[in-house]
Structures are given as structure tokens and as C-alpha cells.
Chains A and B, each alone.
Chain A
Amino acid sequence: MTNSADNHWYPVAMSSGVTGPRDTQLLGCKISLGRTNDQFWVRDANGRDMPVIHKYGHLWTSPGKPNRDLFAIPEADESGRRLVDVGSVRVKCSPLRAVENFLDIAHFPFIHSDILGAEPHTEVARYEVKIHEDVNEIWATKVKFFQPMAAKSAAGGIITDYKYRVAAPTVSILYKTSPPRPGEWDVIALFVQPLTEELCEVWPWMALYDDDAEQADLVNFQQMIFMQDRSILENQIPRKLPLDPGMETPTQADMTSIAYRRWLKKLGYSYGAQVVAA
């Protein structure tokens, strides 16, 4: 069975971490990657060269024929931003579950207590979700949430504005109020490498305005946030993301998640998904 999942770009390494050749997995298949002089390469299990793009601190490849370029993050080129490679964390969950969790706001007070949310400020106000047909991306806008410590650079609680974007089936990007520059957006992306349908490597990456923090503190902050999610992700049932309504009852706060599932279904993207109604 050919899977439409083949025809997308996936992150497979943080480029600064590629020294000697090494093996990894993509969509259940072994691949290898490395660098020769200044040239990065990725090969499939038969030793055939796969396409490589080096962008946003990571190497991207595809087992098939992507019908579009890698998505754009124009903010990456803006001067004054710090680009932060956070490194990878391996999670025993569907790659789609990892993306969906990243899109969710309602869990902040319970999982990221006193950081990204705090009881009793648990309400997710109405926001807007649209599919941008020209680029085939999902955008959630006008999201607002009270956060005690929105970023490493935050001095106290603020109402944080968010925008969420699904740029590819396993890539989600959020834009949030930058505490030191309230008129600007910090960019935090989650690049998910599907190792198998129930195992993924997650590569967070950030483009922030923060002139003060140590790089290590920015990395540790983001790893702390993501690791708070990990134990939740590994315990979600069913293991694969259901694309049809059934066992799970969504609420208004889940509008982005509903749009994501419908969008995946329309794309015919079934890797890591449960396509039969439960």
C-alpha cells in the first residue's frame, strides 16, 4: 500500500548534531544520514540518496515525492531573534498525538502548573480556526490564555496571545506574545519525526526575542515543558489518533484539534491514525 505519508517532508536530525554517519528510522523504515565535508546526506535502507533540505536548524527528508516545498517560517530570518535548537526527546506515542497535544491549550493549568497556566484560570476563550487553502495549512488565531510564566523571559503572569499553525502533518508552529517585546511574536515549533506509528522523535525549535537568558536556560525551559507532556502522551488511549468522532467527546476548546483531524482525513494521511470509528 502506498501511503500518502511518504510525500511529505520530515525532520530527521538537528544539523549541528550530525557528525559521523548514523542510523535512524522514518515511517517505520531504516534510514541513515551523515555529512561529508559540508554536504549533508540521507539514504534509505538500500543506500539510495534521499532528498535533503537543511533548514531551521534541522535536516529534512522525504521517502516519496513531496508535491510542495518545505513550509516557510519567515521569522527565522528576522534580525534580533535567537534561534534555539532544543534537541530531541523520544516519545512512545503516535506522531499525530504529539502534534495534537502541542495544539492544545486546555491542559496548561494541569500539566504545566504555575508556568503556562494555573488553576483557577482554566477557561479557554473562543478562538478562530481556518484552513488557509493557498498553502493548505491550519491556522488558529485570537487565542488568549492567562499564563503565570509564559517564557523564560517572563517576569510575572500575563495574558498571552497565541496563534497556532499546522504547516505539515507532523509540524506544528506556535506564535505567542514575546514577554520582553509585547508587540512581537515568539516562534516555537515542534518538528516531529515519525519513527513508527507509535514512536516518535520530537525536535522542538525556537526563534525568540530574548537578549538576556543563557542559551542553556532557554533549552532547559523548553525541555521542561515538553517533558511534562511526555508522560501524558505515553498514556493516551487509543494509541493512534482517531480521525473519526467516537470514543472522544470534543469541546469548544478542541476546535484546533478537530480541524487537524478533519484535515488529516482529507489529506488521506493515515500514518499514526486510527481511521475506523471506535
Chain B
Amino acid sequence: MILYDYILSASCYKVRLMASLIGVPLTLKGVNFHPEKEHKSHDMLALNPDGTLPTLVDGDRVLTQSTEILRHLVSNKAPEWLGKTTAQTDHWLLFASALNSSLGMARLHDILSYETDIDQVRRDGVAQLRHLEEHLTEQRIEGLAFLTGDTPTIADIACFPNTALAPDGGVSLDPYPAIRLWMRDIRSLPRFIEMPGIHRMHELVDPSGATA
């Protein structure tokens, strides 16, 4: 499978992270999204007329929506990542798209100088973070660490990047302890990979030699 990729894109990272977590190898083709806008080039538009990233090519299939790509990645190899109830997973996948328009846009504004109503997108992002915090707090009271249960699904992977990258767009995560615990659980998953702005967990090494 070939992923047309941009290293700073939160949506491309969803795909890289998901593939890594389930052990699916991807061939990455870097696209010069910034500064060259190569995703709007003739060749890229021929592949994906919407001119968006990520774009995944698997044999004859070309997938251009990150949600669709996540489903495609896990459906054969690791269907448990689809979640037990579709309705719940779908709710959080939609929520992930909304995060992309709020926190994701605030980040593009702050990093790459995209034009937007920055106060409005930050306000939208904060409202969504409060919703997420409330839900994750309730989950934790039930003893559930993830969005739809006690194991992570594609919904968690879809919501994670733009949430974790909120500070890049000038939105602090300090007020949200449940979100921070959830992010910590995701970062602790085996085969977790980082992206710029999302750091890996550094192991705490006991001076006696034992790993904490």
C-alpha cells in the first residue's frame, strides 16, 4: 500500500499511526504540501481530484478520506479496531472530522499562516475538547480507558492527532485531565509512533537498572 503523505499533516499521521499499531507496512511517498502545494499538482490531482492528503493507493483502489482509509486498513487484518457498535464509533469519527475543522485549522493558521477566523476556530475547538473531556471522564468512571470501550478503536486513532496537537494551534490541554490520561494510554500502546509535536513516552529508568 502506498500512502501519499505529508509529515506535518494530522490526518496523514492518523493513517501512519494506525498502520504501525496493527503492523501493516506502508510505502510512504512524501508530498511537498508546504511550501510547494504539490498536493494540487497535475499528477496528484490525476490521482485524487480533491487534491487532499492523505491519499492511499492499494492495488486498483484509491482512498482519499482518512476515515475510509482507517476502516480499510483494519478491516481484514485487525477488525477488532472497528469497535463493537458502529453507532458509537461513527459518532466519534464524525467528531474527529469536526476537530479537523477547528483545532486542525487553528494549527494550520499558527504554523503555516492559513487564513481563518482564528478566535472562532479556537472557540469551537475548546467546546469540542470540553465535550471530549466529559465523555472520557464518564468512561473512566466506568473503568473504560478509550472512547468506546476498554480497548482502542479507529475512533480513538481518528480523534487523537488533532487533540494532541491542540497546543500547536494555541489551545492549551492543561484543563483536561481525562484527555491527558487518554492520550497517555494511546501513547503507551505497543508500536506507537510519534509525529512532530507529539512526543513518545520516555521510559523511566531506575538507577539500579530495573525499568520502571
Contacts and interface: CB of A to CB of B under 8 A. Distances in A.
Interface of A: 14, 16-17, 85-90, 92, 110-111, 113, 119, 214-217, 219-221, 223-228, 230-231, 234
A88 to B, nearest CB: 7
Interface of B: 5-8, 29-32, 34-36, 38, 110-113, 167-168, 170, 194-197, 199-200, 202
20 contacts: A17-B35, A87-B35, A88-B35, A89-B112, A110-B202, A119-B202, A215-B36, A216-B36, A216-B38, A217-B30, A220-B5, A220-B6, A220-B7, A220-B32, A221-B7, A224-B195, A230-B111, A231-B167, A231-B197, A231-B199
> What are the 6 closest A-B residue pairs judged by CB atoms, nearest first?
A87-B35, A227-B196, A216-B32, A216-B30, A217-B30, A220-B7
Nearest to B35: A87
Q: Is the interface of A mostly helix, strand, loop or mixed?
A: helix
Given A214-B30, A216-B30, A216-B32, A223 B200 contact: no
- B contact patch SS: loop
B112 to A, nearest CB: 7
Contact of B8 (A92, A214, A227): A227
B167 A234 contact: yes
B200 A113 contact: yes
Contact of A85 (B6, B35, B195): B35
Given A90-B113, A230-B196, A234-B167, A224 B8 contact: yes
Given A90-B110, A90-B111, A234-B167, A223 B197 contact: no
B40 to A, nearest CB: 13
B147 to A, nearest CB: 24
B197 to A, nearest CB: 5
